[in-house]
């Protein structure tokens, strides 16, 4: 499934190979990695290289070890492969948690507003 432009002897080639093994498009990989699609493409074509923090994140997204991306070594063995469906499921779970936290924050804000309103009323009472 690896394209003719992929060369597993280079960082870019290993990135492309790992992405294709996961069944991810450049666009999907970019979204999951927090970068633009053209950035992923430039990395895959060895026009530029990701910073270490992005490389760590990419390894997780692509289900490979850092040592594999850096030098082709598998290290202690392959990481558990995540399928596209696994990643989509994880995204859905994270979105659900984010929405729940947003609701909790909104409720807390309403409670704080009510508390401040009660405090203002109490401060106006003359003892």
Q: What is the pLDDT of residues 45-92, one digit of tens each?
A: 999 999 988 888 898 889 888 888 888 876 544 455 667 787 788 888
pLDDT at 81: 62
Range of the domain at 112: 83-127
Do 99 and 76 lie in a common domain? no
Which of residues 45, 62, 80 is at a domain's end? Answer: 80
Q: How many domains does the chain have?
A: 2
Do 28 and 68 lie in a common domain? yes
Q: How far is CA 80 from CA 3, 51, 60, 64, 101, in A?
A: 23, 24, 10, 8, 29
Do 52 and 72 lie in a common domain? yes
Distance, CA of 23 to CA of 1 (rounded, Å) = 10
Do 34 and 71 lie in a common domain? yes
Which of residues 80, 99, 117 is at a domain's end? Answer: 80
The dihedral sign for the CA sequence 44, 49, 52, 53: negative
Residues 6+ apart with CB under 8 A from 20: 1, 2, 3, 6
């Amino acid at each position: 499934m690896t394209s003719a432009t992929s060369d597993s002897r280079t960082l870019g080639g290993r990135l492309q190979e790992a992405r294709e093994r996961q069944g991810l498009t450049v666009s999907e990989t970019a979204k999951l990695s927090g970068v633009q699609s053209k950035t992923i493409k430039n990395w895959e074509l060895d026009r530029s290289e990701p910073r270490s923090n992005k490389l760590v994140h990419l390894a997780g997204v692509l289900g490979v070890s850092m040592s594999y991306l850096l030098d082709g070594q598998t290290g202690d063995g392959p990481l558990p492969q995540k399928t596209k469906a696994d990643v989509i499921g994880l995204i859905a779970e994270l979105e659900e948690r984010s929405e729940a936290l947003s609701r909790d924050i909104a409720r807390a804000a309403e409670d704080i507003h009510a508390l401040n309103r009660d405090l203002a009323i109490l401060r106006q009472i003359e003892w």
